Amino acid sequence: MLLQPRDHAPCRARRRALSAAAAVALAWWLPASAQGARNFPQAARPGRFAMRVFPEAALDGQPVRLAAGARIYDQRNMIVMPASLSGSFDALVERDPVGDISRVWLLTPEELRAAQARERERERARSAGSGR
């Protein structure tokens, strides 16, 4: 019995399609993981944030309230549900006009150092401006 030569074209096409899909997935994932620094609003202030029973929380040990529709972003900039948080976190906090917390960013150690440096600069500028 003679063996017929096997046509490898379908296998090659499948391999090419899988390679292309993997390349697209990698190209999509790399920019998201290489974003680097997140941009925070100037109004955001650093503090130690702890979630209590929603909508109650604590900021630097003082009781605060989360605004309706408040968003909490983790270190990967993904929104997290308040009920999933336990413990306290270094964070940047933005308040709404009423004084409730509208957005919270849980910080990485590098982001915390940058936020503290920015806050020190703000304090220096404020004290220099009032010294005139």
pLDDT per residue over 80-121, tens digit each?
A: 999 999 999 999 999 999 999 999 999 999 999 999 999 999
What's the distance, Cα to Cα, between the start and end of the chain in Å? Answer: 102
Q: For residue 87, report the phi and psi dihedrals to the nearest 5 degrees.
A: 95, -170
pTM, two decimals, is: 0.69
* Structure tokens that stand for 115 in this block: 């936020």
CA distance 56 to 94: 15
The pLDDT, as a whole number, for residue 23 is 66
Instruction: Tell which wins on pLDDT, 16 or 34.
Output: 16
